[in-house]
Structure 1
Amino acid sequence: MIVSLRRAAVILFLLFACSAPASAAPVPFVPDRPTISVGAVRPGMGGYLLTVLRGTKPVRLPLTVVDVVPQKGEVHSAILVRLLSSPNNRSGGVAQGMSGSPVYIGGRLAGAVGSGWEFSDHNLAMVTPIEDMCAVFSRPERLARPRGLSGRGTNAPAAPLSVAGLGGGGADRLSRSLGVSVSPTPVGSSEELRVVPGRLSPGEAVAALLVWGDVEVGATGTVTATSRDGRFLAFGHPFLGRGAVNFPVARARIHETVYSQAFPFKLGSPVSLVGTVTQDRAAGIGGRTDFFTPSVSATLAFTDLDQGGERTVRNVRVVPDPFLGSRLLEGVFTGLLDEVWRRKGQGTMTVNLRIDGRGVENGWTRTNVFFSETDVSSAALREAARIWELFLLQPFADGMPVGFRLEVEATEEPRVLFIEDVAVSSDARPGDSLEVGVTLRPWRRRPVRKEFRLTVPKEATGTCELLVRGGGIQPLPQLALDGGWKSIDGLKRLLTEVGAMDANNELVVELLCDPDTIKAAKEGVRSDDRRDSPELLPEEREFLSETKARRIGEGTLRISRSDYVVDGLMKRLITVKEEEE
């Protein structure tokens, strides 16, 4: 059912996004330093680049122009330069984190360091011309249309992402969730990142962030140029290549520039939030200082039941990008679960998800229980990630600012109830009360018995089918949505139907007496051919939440919730005898 909801939400969002009006005409970016065009650059000309090697103060590294190299794509040419020997060049040449470092030739700004080569001469670098970087602001600053993370459409690689606050396993999970390489780093901000207003300066180290707080995901680079109106250029290549964006940017401190035969790198961490990246293009990133947008707030509250209820809380903030947000949250929270539990593998997790945001009065919650024999953290986060995606993509209302809170209780114990037996009379009359006994066996413990009472519909004839199952086994179908008879038309309805989905910790006991209803329950969808049966089933006229409420009221459906995953499915046939005259 959630697949159908997600499909509907995405389609409606795309229609909404594509019809959204564009913002005002872009304002040209004019650097506040003199510039030199790439056409005026010649081999042999001398200059320097400005970058931070340690701390926060930029230093000069002398260089000479090797050649101007033609390229295909948005950046039509690049300047090949060689760093010269100097006391400051102790890291062995160009390093990761120098991207965006301004290059001055003849005292004028020519561009920014954009790339180098692994396992090669690290004193060689490609410089992105300043005119191409200024063109970053030739497009409107607005929310980008949907596009992938690969940066396709650019002729330069995206910035290497790093994550602090998660181990190598967490970084791997985040890489799989995002579809890009993410490397763990041992350094991060020592306290909460706070907003410190001020202007940036060329050569200053900055970090573009996707996640910040107890986990930080982003990339470190250098400011290339600033303008008098508070805008800046940086990186000299794409961050993710997503076009118009709203990503926070922070001042960064460089702890050391480390030599490596593969590629030297800066070891840095963000210090304070200073503005927002609004453009993420092939030639670099651009943004504004003292300008901030709402973010997604997310909290993980974890309780280890095997350690006497030991509780750990982690808080993060995520960029307000609906197409990135759910993947970031899934990757970060799955990694965090492994970190705070200090293990991964089999186990049971009870997950309570709460959403607070605009249009969600008094919050919205859903509880479910998950068991896995191999990786319970991933299993426990899968549903939450789909719900995050649904909420962030829904087209009905802007939910920003929004907060997600995940309460997780974990144990290595397989908390699973297996359906072992069902006892019920083999015949009944219309309108009879039907006693149902269900025997459940907890994993490697003595069985327990639960009693239920159902009501045989007064119009029932022939044979009824008693179905006893776990909530995650053959869940009730959304016939109205899957058959196209109804659609989700608002945020409240969307959340109501998501909340109505069967949960793994539910024991569902239902009586099916209508032949068409039995067939629909088995197949999940009914034929669209109405020539033989023009009347819709009640389930085809109702949302799932309405169907459940009606059937519980009629006595043909009972749902029992527990702290265990309910596994198994059993059926019994009941012959309905005609009323005696």
Structure 2
Amino acid sequence: MNGLSIRRLAAVLLCACACSWAWSPAFGEAPRTAPVEIPKPLVPFVPEQPIVSAGALRAGMRGYLLTVLRGTRPERLPLEVVDVVPQKGEVSRSILVRLLPSANNRVGGVAQGMSGSPVYIGGRLAGAVGSGWSFSDHNLALVTPIEDMCAVFSRPDRPARPLGRGPSPRGSGSVAPLSVAGLDGRSAERLAHVLGVAVEPTPAGASKALEVVPGRLSPGEAVAALLVWGDVEVGATGTVTATARDGRFLAFGHPFLERGAVNFPAARARIHETIPSQAFPFKLASPVSLVGTVTQDRAAGIGGRTDFFTPSVSAALAFTDADQGGLRTVRNFRVVPDAFLGGRLLQGVFSGLMDDIWRRRGQGTMTVNLRIDGRGVDRGWARKNVFFSEDDVSSAALREAARIWDLFLLQPFADGMPIGFRLEVEATEEPRVLFIEDVNVSSDAQPGDTLNVGVTLRPWRKRPVHKSFTLTVPKEASGTCELLVRGGGINSLPQLALEGGWKSIDSLDRMLTEVGAMDANNELVLELLCDPNVIKAAKDGPRSDDRRGGSSDLLPEEREFLSETKARRIREGTLRISRSDYFVDGMMKRLITVKGEDEGEQ
């Protein structure tokens, strides 16, 4: 595995903190293995409309911009050129324009959502509205020259594989603020923190699932670039600047997220109204239908195509409120197939949905079932865990899932393609916690003996319960053995072979197996440790090379994956794992003296 994936595995498997997901291609699936790609020659973007360069413009020249103010039909707003402003960076200069008084200019100037609106001077396309200023004269705006926008397509696309505001110009040298529908303000703030960009909650959103409606886009038409869509929508709405005969289009006049070559869905949008504001006017918009794919996200704008549709990751949350009589709520959404962005989107959206549906945050217990179905996981993969927190159980419940999401999104194996992710959560304010209160076992034993272990567990503020287990003393044991009884999230069994560098993850199946082998919070674990080296390794990690004589000196746990160690020790009788519907808390130890028959007779 590459270094990045190894670090991700270390974060998940080696930590094994007790603290699922699914993809579904929206429009087809990738081949089982990625074919060798032959680079295609780049085709320059040539607008269907005649153009004029920024260098040919002079102060006082008049023209208009084309944009949708309400509904879906573009309208003209007259303007004049104020000056051409030199700039540093990929956009070498901007055109400063001023909107002129007109019947259509009813909100007092440029509004958020007009980004990308084509500007025509003397009947020729000069560029697109790129930015304006908050708390200023909104009739003034900077226009990104069309020649700079056409250069968006000077870099190759990435083939799709299934799978705050201030006085600075808005959209100039920064990404577009994202709008989010389907989450409340607090949840939008959490999503903004996860993504590291400004996120603005909006009441507008598609009234039903977005359907694919093939067709061409037109200059001045409202268009949305989406990251999440369905019961939750995250994206940004702008305007189409120019189109080419081959179906490509330019829009926005500034970056979306400035992520370079991308595969983000593009959707036609409807403008409900353009709303005046002293801070900055804005368009209230909703996506209408999927029309293509954004393939370039650059400083001068976004570019895309209407001749193909990117696959997507589907996700579902089934949330049951145990305190409301088992009230069940289901939310479905789709996420862009971006390996480096998808995990953060999933974390932010799931976290927000859980807060919104539960209508509270704070202490409580959540039972989480994660499931993956897809290519490479033909029989499906599932994991159950229980989480308790005294202050924010939603965050605690998603911490492990977020690590696993990242791990799956960044896994390097070509034969794996998750196509269905489902997260089922049952929540209650009640602390469903079992505390380990006492352990009873004989203090003496002989090699090969069966130990009867009694464990007293106390549910929170309820009468204790008693459980009985058996363990087997190894036949080669002598001296002192340590009996450890603990909750699965405490002193979890380590991946000594991975941590010490004696093993590596070399397949998706192995990765899934080892993720599934991690201890869970709802497990009561009984371990009988009789080898002093194993006890020390479990506490301190694998031994360094200067403390071993060679590979033959390796402990069994250093030759095996954790899943193999667990299976072996369960067969031997030195490990017992009992699963429950509670968060198991606490740890207790007992020492057992193992004597041979000769020692017992003395």
- Scaled by the length of structure 2, the TM-score of the pair is 0.91
1:102 aligns with 2:101: no
Counterpart residue identity of residue 525, structure 1: P
Select between 513-522 and 528-537 the one with higher mean Cα deviation: 528-537
Of 527-536 and 230-239, the range deviating more from structure 2: 527-536
Aligned to 2:146: 130
Classify 1:79/1:399 alpha carbon distance in 2 versus 1 (closer, same or farther; 3 Å).
Answer: farther
Report what 1:513 is aligned to.
Answer: 530
Return the letter of the residue paired with 1:114. G
Deviation of 1:402 after TM superposition, in Å, equals 2.1
From 64, 79, 82, the equivalent of 1:48 is 64
CA distance in structure 1 between the aligned counterparts of 2:5 and 2:476, rounded to whole angstroms: 33
Given the superposition, is the C-alpha separation of residues 9 and 466 from structure 1 closer, same or farther in structure 2, using an over 3 Å criterion?
Answer: closer
Structure 2: runs of 5+ lacking an equivalent: 12-34, 161-170
Q: Is the 8 A contact 1:250 1:270 kept in 2?
A: yes
1:319, 1:325 within 8 Å by CA — same for their partners in 2?
yes
Q: More deviation in 53-62 or 570-579?
A: 570-579
Partner in structure 2 of residue 332 of structure 1: 349
Q: Does 1:561 align with 2:579?
A: yes
Return the match for 1:76 from 82, 85, 92.
Answer: 92
User: Could you say which residue in structure 2 is the equivalent of 1:147?
Assistant: none
Cα offset, 1:525, TM superposition = 3.0
Q: 1:416 aligns with which of 433, 442, 448?
A: 433
Aligned partners of 2:95 and 2:142 also within 8 Å = yes
Partner letter of residue 375 of structure 1?
A: D
Q: 1:323 — aligned with what?
A: 340
1:405 corresponds to: 422
CA deviation map 1:335-376 (0-9, x unaligned): 001111122111111100011122111211000000111111
Which residue identity does 1:385 align to in structure 2? A
Aligned partners of 2:345 and 2:272: how far apart in 1? Answer: 27
* SS of corresponding position for 1:206: strand
Partner of 1:113: 129
**Residue 405 of structure 2 aligns to which amino acid in structure 1?**
W
Change (3 A) 1:105 1:158: same
> Higher relative CO (CA 8 A, sep ≥ 6), structure 1 or 2?
2
Deviation, structure 1 residue 381 = 1.0
Q: Report if aligned partners of 2:377, 2:418 keep a CA contact under 8 Å in 1.
A: no
Q: Could you tell me which of 569, 587, 590 is aligned with 1:551?
A: 569
Choose the corresponding residue for 2:507, options 486, 490, 493: 490
Spell out, residue by residue over 1:21-71, the C-alpha distance to the aligned partner (whole angstroms, 9 max, x if none).
Answer: 673222110000000011111111111000011111100000000100011
8 Å contact kept, 1:163–1:183: yes
Q: Tell whether 2:594 aligns with 1:576.
A: yes
1:295 equivalent to 2:321? Answer no
Q: Name the CA shift for 1:60/1:155 in 2 (closer, same or farther; >3 Å).
A: closer
Residue aligning to 1:188 = 205
Q: Deviation of residue 293 (structure 1)?
A: 1.6
1:25, 1:571 → 2: CA distance?
A: 68
Q: CA contact under 8 A between 1:296 and 1:317: conserved in structure 2?
A: yes
Amino acid at match of 2:238: G
- After superposition, residues 304-319 of structure 1 pair within 5 angstroms as 304-319=321-336
Residues in 2 aligned to 1:108 and 1:170: alpha-carbon distance in whole angstroms? 44
Q: Distance in 2 between matches of 1:262 and 1:511?
A: 67
Corresponding position: 1:285 with 2:302: yes
Q: C-alpha deviations, 1:76-96, integer Å up to 9, x for none?
A: 000000001111001111110
Q: Is the 8 A contact 1:4 1:481 kept in 2?
A: no
Distance 1:165 1:82, change over 3 A: same
In the TM superposition, residue 7 of structure 1 has moved relative to its aligned partner by 1.2
- 1:88 maps onto 2:99 in alignment: no
Query: What TM-score results when the alignment is normalised by the length of structure 1?
Result: 0.94
Give the secondary-structure state (helix, strand or coil) at the position aligned to 2:394: helix
SS at match of 2:553: coil
Distance 1:312 1:75 in 2: 47
Matched letter for residue 195 of structure 1: V
Residue in structure 2 matching 1:358, options 375, 400, 407: 375
> Which whole-Å CA distance do the structure 2 matches of 1:382 and 1:530 have between them?
36
Letter in 2 for 1:7: R
Aligned equivalents of 1:579, 1:118: Cα separation in 2: 87
Q: CA deviation at 1:8?
A: 5.7
Amino acid at match of 1:358: R
Q: Which moved more, 1:127-136 or 1:172-181?
A: 172-181
CA distance in 2 between counterparts of 1:432 and 1:42 reads 96
Number of residue pairs the alignment of both structures matches: 564
Aligned partner of 2:16 in structure 1 is none
1:92-241 matches, within 5 Å, as 92-142=108-158, 156-241=173-258
- Report the CA distance between 1:579 and its aligned residue: 2.3
Q: Would the aligned equivalents of 2:488 and 2:520 in 1 still touch at CA under 8 Å? A: yes
Q: CA deviation at 1:397?
A: 2.1
Q: Distance in 2 between matches of 1:22 and 1:432?
A: 66
Q: Which residue number in structure 1 is paired with residue 52 of structure 2?
A: 36
Find the residue that maps to 1:344 and give its secondary structure: coil
Q: What SS does the aligned partner of 1:348 have? A: strand
- Tell me: CA distance 1:499–1:10, structure 2 relative to 1, closer, same or farther (3 Å): closer
- Aligned residues of 2:450 and 2:472 also touching (Cα < 8 A): yes
Using the alignment, how far apart are the partners of 2:414 and 2:393 within structure 1? 33
Q: What is the letter of the counterpart of residue 578 of structure 2?
A: S
Contact 2:115 2:128 (8 Å CA) reproduced: yes
